């Protein structure tokens, strides 16, 4: 058996439809753009209170990340971001699904299942993890949180 064949046999198969995201995501928390923006803004605010910038907040990568998140984040404040996460967590979504839904805010269950394929997966009992109604209800609640500041 060649070395290449051994490599292929031991490599874990990644499959987003069943939330097998690979080794890099095993112990990682997924954040939405709303949450990343809040973390970055908190760092900027901390630096301002301390009376100056740190090397972290003066990098181009940090500045571009914050600008991108401000442009595309869909929550105006920390309470909205927290409510969106709580809605998803209480529904039973995984961290990755929560971040993905909060980032793309699909219009309906079909779009949600297309953009986040694990929402269409079936549980061990063969039943859908989430019905179309459950997904539609979650999306409605997420839009309500986003629309009401």
The string of pLDDT tens digits covering residues 27-77 is 778 888 999 999 989 898 888 888 777 777 778 998 999 999 989 888 878
- 45-49, 86-90, 110-114: lowest mean pLDDT where? 45-49
Mean pLDDT of 91-115: 91
Nearest to 116 by CA among 126, 127, 129, 125: 129
Q: Where are the alpha helices (DSSP H) in 77-131?
A: 78-91, 95-104, 109-115
pLDDT mean across residues, the chain: 83
Which residues have a Cβ under 8 Å from the Cβ of 103 and sit 6 or more positions away? 32, 33, 72
User: What pLDDT is attached to residue 77?
Assistant: 85
Between these two residues, 135 and 27, which has the higher pLDDT value?
Answer: 135
Separation CA 11–CA 138 (nearest Å) = 36
User: What pLDDT is attached to residue 26?
Assistant: 77
Percent of the chain exceeding pLDDT 90 equals 31
User: What pLDDT is attached to residue 7?
Assistant: 54
CB 132 within 8 A of CB 125: no
User: What pLDDT is attached to residue 133?
Assistant: 94
Separation CA 112–CA 122 (nearest Å) = 15
Separation CA 19–CA 97 (nearest Å) = 9
3-state secondary structure of 109: helix
pLDDT for 140 beyond 60: yes
Cβ burial 73-90 (10 Å sphere, 16+ → b, else e): bbbeeeebbebbbebbee
């Amino acid at each position: 058996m060649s070395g290449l064949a051994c490599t292929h046999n031991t490599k874990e198969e990644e499959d987003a439809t069943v939330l097998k995201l690979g080794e890099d995501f095993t112990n990682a928390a997924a954040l939405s753009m709303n949450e990343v923006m809040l973390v970055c803004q908190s760092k900027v605010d901390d630096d301002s209170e301390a009376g100056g910038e740190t090397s972290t907040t003066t990098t181009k990568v940090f500045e571009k990340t914050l600008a991108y998140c401000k442009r595309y984040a869909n929550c105006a404040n920390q309470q909205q971001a927290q409510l969106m996460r709580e809605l998803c967590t209480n529904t039973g979504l995984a961290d990755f699904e929560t971040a993905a839904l909060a980032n793309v805010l699909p219009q309906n269950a079909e779009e949600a299942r297309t953009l986040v394929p694990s929402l269409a997966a079936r549980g061990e009992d063969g039943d859908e993890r989430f019905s179309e109604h459950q997904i539609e209800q979650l999306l409605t609640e997420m839009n309500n949180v986003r629309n009401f500041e």
